[in-house]
């Protein structure tokens, strides 16, 4: 099948996936593909975009919109994101459906979700960013393919010492002590939504931990010294892996599980696991500063491998 002979549908259409989607299309070298978004804040260049601008429609109404698109399409469907439950009826009467895995792979403790997917999603061709996702889906007897995670080259305009950012909403409540230790010597930015989801009391945080509504990494928060991942996860990585590499800046982990996901996905990029307050400073000093050419070649290589695995499995 030719890689351009798809109707690409972003079922969930989160606007914070713009960089990822652009990296995806650039990596597989597709132009003028037909792409459907349900939110006008979603953007990708060099493609034929159609907006169905109903960002607030219900989950069921979104399903109906997707079904109409899929049934009318003579092309096979590739979901950039998808609803893992409402996709089930579509699989009963539509063939050649492909989907990219983000947060749709069930953990082993999610028994009901795992059973449902094992029974009903076996016809779905599932493309995984991380090897751990792929392994888990194979355990569930799914049609799973590991293709990796695409990268988008970005500029890091950090010309003076700035911030260590904790960008993800997935923050382990057990990480507070280490975050506070790191904040003794570094200014740290963390999202308000992250501490709310983790039920962390802001009074328990070091004064050097600044809480922000949103991380504007291309604007007021662009002086990034490093990215700190404070999530303990053995299955799903983070889009901030890609941000760190794309910008050529250090990435740090509080938990070994996440560092293993990162190293298996991007084996050539150095990282540090933080065990004490000095590890961030030491990690920044030890970090291999990439020349523009070396970093660009690294990203080209990752994306070439990604494209080859994609083409092999469609």
Residues 264-274: tens digit of each pLDDT: 999 989 899 99
Region 227-250: what's the mean pLDDT?
91
What digits encode the pLDDT tens for the residues 193-219? 999 998 999 899 999 999 998 887 777
How many CB atoms within 10 Å of residue 16?
A: 10
Q: To 5 degrees, how large is the angle CA 125–CA 129–CA 130?
A: 110
Q: What is the pLDDT of residue 291?
A: 77
What digits encode the pLDDT tens for the residues 279-305? 888 888 888 777 778 888 999 999 999
Q: What is the pLDDT of residue 4?
A: 61
pLDDT > 90 in the chain, percent: 67
Q: What is the pLDDT of residue 252?
A: 94
Structure tokens at 203: 């009074």
What digits encode the pLDDT tens for the residues 216-233? 777 777 788 899 999 999
Q: Is the predicted pLDDT of residue 255 greater than 90, yes or no?
A: yes
Q: What is the pLDDT of residue 283?
A: 86
E-assigned strand segments in 147-274: 163-166, 188-191, 209-212, 224-229, 251-253, 272-273
Alpha-carbon span 171 to 193, nearest angstrom:
10
Alpha-carbon span 74 to 77, nearest angstrom:
9
Q: Is the predicted pLDDT of residue 51 greater than 90, yes or no?
A: yes
Sequence-distant (6+) residues with CB within 8 A of 126 are: 98, 99, 101, 104, 105, 137, 142, 143, 144, 145
Q: Is the predicted pLDDT of residue 113 greater than 60, yes or no?
A: yes
Q: What is the pLDDT of residue 159?
A: 57
Alpha-carbon span 189 to 215, nearest angstrom:
8
Sequence-distant (6+) residues with CB within 8 A of 28 are: 3, 150, 306, 307, 310, 311
């Amino acid at each position: 099948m030719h890689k351009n002979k798809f109707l690409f549908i972003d079922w969930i259409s989160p606007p914070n996936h713009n960089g990822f989607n652009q990296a995806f299309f650039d990596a597989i070298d597709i132009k003028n593909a037909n792409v459907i978004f349900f939110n006008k804040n979603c953007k990708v260049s060099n493609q034929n975009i159609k907006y169905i601008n109903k960002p607030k429609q219900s989950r069921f109404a979104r399903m109906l919109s997707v079904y109409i698109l899929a049934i009318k399409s003579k092309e096979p469907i590739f979901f950039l994101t998808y609803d893992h439950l409402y996709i089930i009826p579509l699989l009963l009467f539509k063939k050649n459906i492909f989907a990219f895995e983000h947060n749709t792979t069930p953990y082993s403790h999610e028994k009901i979700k795992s059973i449902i997917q094992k029974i009903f999603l076996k016809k779905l061709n599932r493309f995984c960013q991380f090897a751990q996702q792929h392994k888990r889906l194979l355990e569930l007897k799914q049609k799973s393919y590991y293709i990796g995670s695409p990268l988008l080259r970005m500029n890091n305009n950090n010309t003076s010492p700035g911030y260590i950012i904790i960008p993800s909403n997935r923050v382990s409540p057990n990480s507070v002590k280490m975050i506070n230790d790191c904040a003794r010597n570094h200014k740290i930015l963390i999202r308000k939504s992250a501490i709310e989801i983790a039920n962390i009391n802001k009074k328990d945080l070091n004064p050097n931990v600044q809480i922000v509504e949103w991380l504007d990494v291309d604007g007021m928060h662009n002086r990034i010294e490093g990215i700190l991942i404070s999530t303990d996860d053995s299955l799903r990585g983070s889009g901030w892996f890609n941000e760190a590499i794309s910008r050529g800046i250090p990435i740090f982990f509080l938990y070994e599980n996440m560092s293993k996901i990162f190293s298996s996905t991007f084996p050539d990029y150095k990282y540090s696991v933080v065990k004490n307050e000095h590890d961030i400073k030491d990690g920044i000093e030890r970090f291999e500063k990439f020349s523009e050419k070396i970093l660009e070649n690294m990203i080209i290589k990752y994306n070439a491998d990604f494209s080859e695995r994609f083409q092999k499995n469609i």
